[in-house]
Structure 1
Amino acid sequence: MGRKYVVAVWALFLLFSCKEDKPELKPDLAQELQVEEEPVLNFGFDFDQYEVVRDTVKWGDSFGELMLKNKVDYPKIVTVSEKYRDTFDVRKIRVGKPYVILKSKDTTLGAQIFIYQNDKVNYTVVDFRDSAQVYKSKKAVRFVEREVAGTIRNNLSATLDSLGVDYNVTIDLSEIYAWTIDFFRLEKGDRFKVIYDERYINDTVYAGRGPIKAALFEHKGKPVYAFPYVTDSLKNILDYYDQDANNLRSTFLRAPIKFGYRLSSRYNLKRRIAYYGYRVRPHKGTDYAAPVGTPIIATADGTVTESRRRGGNGKYVKIRHNGTYSTQYLHMKAQKVKRGEFVRQGDVIGWVGMTGNTGGPHVCYRFWKNGRQVDPLREKLPTAEPIADSLRTAYMDYIHPIKTQLDCIEYEAPKVPENNMITLNENHGTTQNQSHLN
C-alpha cells in the first residue's frame, strides 16, 4: 500500500509540474499569436474583394462592347486593343469561352479585372486598375501518373474508352505506333500497356493528359515497346524507340489521314468497273474515305512539286521526297500548300473533298518509287535511323526502370463463370485456351 501511495503522489507531482511548465498566455498576447487565415485566391485574386460576374462569350459579343457595358473607360479599351495585341488579340475572342469580370464594390461597379479563359489551364488577365495592363498566366496543375492495361475486344478506341481513358491517349498511341502497327487490322486478344500523366487543377478538375511516358503493344503475340528519348538536346528532337533502340518512326506514314478514315479502295491493276462495261481500268491509288474537310497530311518530308487542279484528279498536291519516292493526294476540297514549299511529315497540305472524278468524299493516295506507281501498303518502306551507337548505352540505362515498371503492370484477369464451366468468349477458342491474352 505504501508503494502505491508513493507512485500516486509522484504521478500527481508530474501532472502539476507539466501544468506549471506551460505559461498561461495573456489575452492580448494570445491574440497577437493567432495566425490570420490567408484568403483563397482565384486566378491570383481575392474574389471576396470584388463583385464577381461569370459568363461566356456569346454570339455577337465583342471585347469593346463587353467592357463599355461594364463601365470601362474607352481610352483603356483602345490601349488594350492596340498596345497588347500580341498578348491578347481582342478580335479573336471565341464564342463559348468562359470569362470572369471583377467589379469594384463601390457605387460605380466598374470593371477592374477581365479574365479570359483560353483553356482549362491557361488564361489572360486584363487589369484596368490604374493604367491598363495585360498578361498571360496559368493555373497550378498537378500531374498524376496513371498506368493502364487492356485487351482488345473490338478496337483500340472502344477498349480505352471502357477503361475511362482520355480519347487523346488513343490518338497518341495510334501516332506512336503508326508505322509499326495497322490499327485497322488489330486482332481480338491484342493487348497493350501505357504509362502517362493526367493533369488536374485543384486536385479535382481534369485538365487533359500529358505525353505518353512509355507503352507496350502486343500485336499477334509480338511485343513492341515504345519509349520517348531526346537524341539531340540542342534541337530538342524527340522520337519513340523500341526495346532494341530502333526508331518506331518510318520514313513514311501508313496513311495520309491521321484518324477517322476508312480504306475504301486499294491499289488494283486488274480492277473492272460495271460503268465501263467491266473493262479493266487499273486503280493505281489507295483511297481513304473520310468526311469533307478532314485534314490531309504529308506522309513524309519533301518538297511540293505540284499544287493545282487538273481533270479527273480534281484539286491535288504532289510531293517529291527524295530521288526515289514521290506521293500524290487527289480530290481535295482545297490545297493548303504551294509549289516549291518544303513540308514536314504530318503537316496538313489540304482537306478531303470531292473534286474531279469521285463518287464520294475521299483522298486518293498515289505512291511513286523510281518513277513507277506502286502499292504503298505492300512496299517495305525504309525506317528512320536507330539510336546512334554513342547514345545506345545511355538509352538502355534510361529505359531499364521504365521497362520494368511496364512489365509489372498486370492485365485484367479473365472473368470465370460462376459455375466454373469453360465457355466460348469473344476470341477464337475458350477462356481457358485464351487466358494468356487477358
Structure 2
Amino acid sequence: MRGKTVRNMGGLVLVAAGAAYLYLGVDLSPHQEYREEAAVSAQDTLPAPPSAYGIPLAGFCVDRDHVRSGSTFSALLLPLGISAATIDSLVRLAAPIFDVNRIRAGHPLAFIFPEDSSDTPAYFVYESDPVDHVVFDLRPPYSVRMEKRPVHTEEKSLSVEVTGALWNDLVGAGATPALAAELSKVFAWTVDFYRIQKGDRFTMIYRQKTVDGVPYEDPVLLSVRYEGSSTQEAFLFDSPDSKGGYYDAEGKSLRKAFLQAPLEYSRISSGFSRRRFHPVQKRMKAHLGTDYAAPYGTPIRSTADGVVEKAGYTGGNGNYVKIRHNRTYETQYLHMRKILVKRGQVVKQGQVIGEVGSTGLATGPHVCYRFWKNGKQVDPRREILPSADPLKPADLPAFDQVRDEFLARMDEAESEAKTLSVATF
C-alpha cells in the first residue's frame, strides 16, 4: 500500500509466541500444562518517526513485520527483487559483525522502500534483540552496519497492599511479571509466600532498564520491605570484601541453607501431619511431607546444594528424587512427571531437578516435599535453618549508609501509596 508509512507484508507475517521481554507467571489452575513463554516481540508505530534504525525517513516508507518460521536471509530478499549476487555480497559484508544464519523466526524485521513506484526496498533491517539491529543497505555499493537503540535506566518505587492474589496485586499496581518474580527470589529464604494474608504490604525500590519505554532485561530489586505477621527487609549490597547479595537491616545475609519451598509459585494443598486421611488409600495415616499443588510440568527446584542420592520410581512415590545435603539434612521430592537429574549428580540450590506430575499415589499434579534432619522426617516450615555468612565488620559503615538511604525512600513510597489509597477510597 504505497504512501503509508507501514505496509502489510502479507505472507511474511508470523505472530511470535510470547510477551514483550517479560517472564510471564504460571497459571495455577489445575491440570494445565506449564509452558515457558518466548521473549520476542515488536511494536508497530503509526506514523513512523522522522528517522528509524539510524536512517532518515524523508522520501521513504517502512514495512515492519516478523520473520516467518523457516525463512532464511535469501528467502526474505529474493521475492522483493534482490538478486542472488547482491545477497551473496551482503552475506560477505555482514560476516564480520553478523552471521545471517542466526536470523530467527519471530524476530522483528523491516523493509524500507523509496516513496515512488519501486517494489524493491532500499534497506532491510533485522532486530536481533530489543537493542541491537542489523541494517543492510541494498543499494550499490551496498553496506551492512550494526545499530543500537538507547537503553535508559531509572530507579522506581512501589508499595502494594495485598488484597487477594499477591501476583495480581503487584501487576495491578504497575509491577511487571519479571519484578514479581524477582521479589519471590529475594525473599525465597525468609518469607513464606504461602502464609501471606490480606492486608500485608510489600514496598520496594528497584532499577529498571527500558528501550523505547518498554522494560528491557530483568529489573534489579535494590531494597524490599515486607510487613505482615512479621517485618522482613532486604537490601542489595556489594563490596570488594563481601560476596554481595541481599542482607537484612543488621547486615545478616538473607540467603539460608534451604529455600522455603521447592516451587516458585503454587499453593499448599496438604501440610505436614502425624495423622491425615489419605485421599487414595482412604484411611488415616501420617503425612510426613508438604504437598505443593501446581500445573503439570512446573519446574521443581532443589531447595539446597547437595548430591542426588536416589532418582527413580516406586509405586507410592511415583517418580522421585532424594538429595543428601550434608550429614544432617536430606530432602525428597515425589510424584514427578519427569526426573531431570541422575543418581550421584551434584546439584545447586534452586537448580531444576524435575517437573510436577501425578505419578504414584497421587490424585492430581503436585510435589510432595519431604525433609529429614538427623535421619528423622520433620516439618521444614517449622525448622530454624542456618544462614549464610554476615557482612564483614569493615563493610558495615558503607552498608549502613546504603540501608538508611533505602529505608527513607521506602518510607516515602509507602506513605504516598497509603495517602493515594485513602484519597481514592
TM-score, length basis structure 1: 0.72
SS in 1 for 2:403: helix
Q: Are 1:68 and 2:74 matched, yes or no?
A: no
Check conservation: 2:73, 2:100, Cα contact below 8 A: no
SS at match of 1:192: strand
In structure 2, which of residues 258, 264, 268 is the aligned counterpart of residue 258 of structure 1?
264
- Partner-residue secondary structure (3-state), 2:401: helix
Match of 2:237 among 229, 243, 251: 229
CA distance in 1, matches of 2:203, 2:329: 35
In 1, the alpha carbon distance for the partners of 2:343 and 2:135 equals 42
State yes or no: 1:123 paired with 2:136. Answer: no
Counterpart of 1:270 in 2: which secondary structure? strand
Tell me the equivalent position of 1:272. Answer: 277
1:103–1:289 distance in 2 versus 1, CA, 3 Å: same
Compared CA separation, residues 414 and 138, structure 1 to 2 (3 A): closer
Residues 288 and 86 of structure 1: CA distance in aligned 2, closer, same or farther (over 3 Å): farther
Could you give the per-residue CA deviations for residues 105-128 of structure 1, whole angstroms, max 9, x where no partner exists? 89682564331253xx33341636
Distance (whole Å) between structure 2 residues aligned to residue 416 and residue 51 of structure 1: 50
Alignment of 1:365 onto 2:375: no
Structure 1 stretch displaced more, 387-396 or 249-258: 387-396
Mapping of 1:27-426 within 5 angstroms?
40-48=50-58, 52-70=62-80, 71=82, 73=84, 76=87, 90=101, 93-95=104-106, 97-102=107-112, 109=120, 112-118=123-129, 121-125=130-134, 127=136, 138-202=148-212, 204-207=213-216, 210-220=219-229, 222-232=230-240, 237-259=243-265, 261-273=266-278, 276=281, 278=283, 280-409=284-413, 410=415, 411-413=417-419
Q: Would you say the 8 A contact 1:142–1:201 is kept in 2?
A: yes
Measured after TM superposition, the shift of residue 327 of structure 1 is 1.7
Change (3 A) 1:42 1:254: same
In structure 2, distance between residues paired with 1:380 and 1:216: 21
Which shifted more, 206-215 or 172-181? 206-215
- SS state of the match for residue 351, structure 1? strand
**C-alpha separation between the residues in 2 aligned to 1:47 and 1:407?**
48
User: How far is the alpha carbon of 1:294 from its aligned partner?
Assistant: 1.0
Cα pair 1:155 1:186 within 8 Å, conserved: no
Whole-angstrom distance in 1 between the partners of 2:328 and 2:200: 35
- Distance across 2 between alignment mates of 1:167 and 1:147: 15
Measured after TM superposition, the shift of residue 416 of structure 1 is: 6.8
Partners of 2:396 and 2:56 in 1: CA distance: 52
How far is the alpha carbon of 1:134 from its aligned partner? Answer: 7.4
Deviates more, 1:85-94 or 1:62-71: 85-94
* Aligned equivalent of 2:32: none
- Offset at residue 253 of structure 1 (A): 0.7
For 2:100 and 2:379, locate their aligned partners in 1 and report how far apart those are by CA, in whole Å: 47
What SS class does the counterpart of residue 359 from structure 1 fall into? coil
Do the aligned residues in 1 keep the contact of 2:74 with 2:84 (CA within 8 Å)? Answer: no
1:430 aligned partner? none
Residues 403/310 of structure 1: CA separation in 2 closer, same or farther (3 Å cut): same
C-alpha distance 74-310 of structure 1, shift in aligned 2 (>3 A):
farther
* Paired letter, 2:237: Y
* CA shift digits 1:198-226 (9 cap, x unpaired): 44434x44546631122222122x43221
1:412 partner letter: K
Q: What one-letter code is carried by the residue in structure 2 that aligns with 1:405?
A: R
CA distance in 2 between partners of 1:191 and 1:277 (Å): 41
TM-score w.r.t. length of structure 2: 0.74
Q: Which consecutive unaligned segments of at least 5 residues does structure 2 have?
A: 1-48
Q: How much identity, in percent, do the aligned residues show?
A: 35
**Aligned residues of 1:88 and 1:134 also touching (Cα < 8 A):** no
Letter in 1 for 2:272: Y
Deviates more, 1:206-215 or 1:187-196: 206-215
What do the CA deviations read for 1:374-426 (whole angstroms, capped 9, x no partner)? 221222211222112232222113322222222333141387799xxxxxx9x
Once the 2 structures are TM-superposed, how far is the Cα of residue 190 of structure 1 from its aligned partner? 2.0
CA contact (8 A) 1:99 1:117 kept: no
The offset of 1:193, in angstroms, is 1.7
Change (3 A) 1:227 1:391: same
Aligned counterparts of 1:371 and 1:87: Cα–Cα separation in 2: 57
Q: How many angstroms apart in 1 are the aligned matches of 2:97 and 2:323? A: 34
Q: 2: distance between equivalents of 1:354 and 1:275?
A: 12
Higher RCO, 1 or 2 (CA under 8 Å, sep at least 6)? 2
The alpha-carbon deviation at position 247 of structure 1 amounts to 1.1
1:352 Cα deviation after fit = 1.3
Q: 1:317 to 1:186 in 2, by over 3 A?
A: same
Three-state SS of the structure 2 residue aligned to 1:399 is: helix
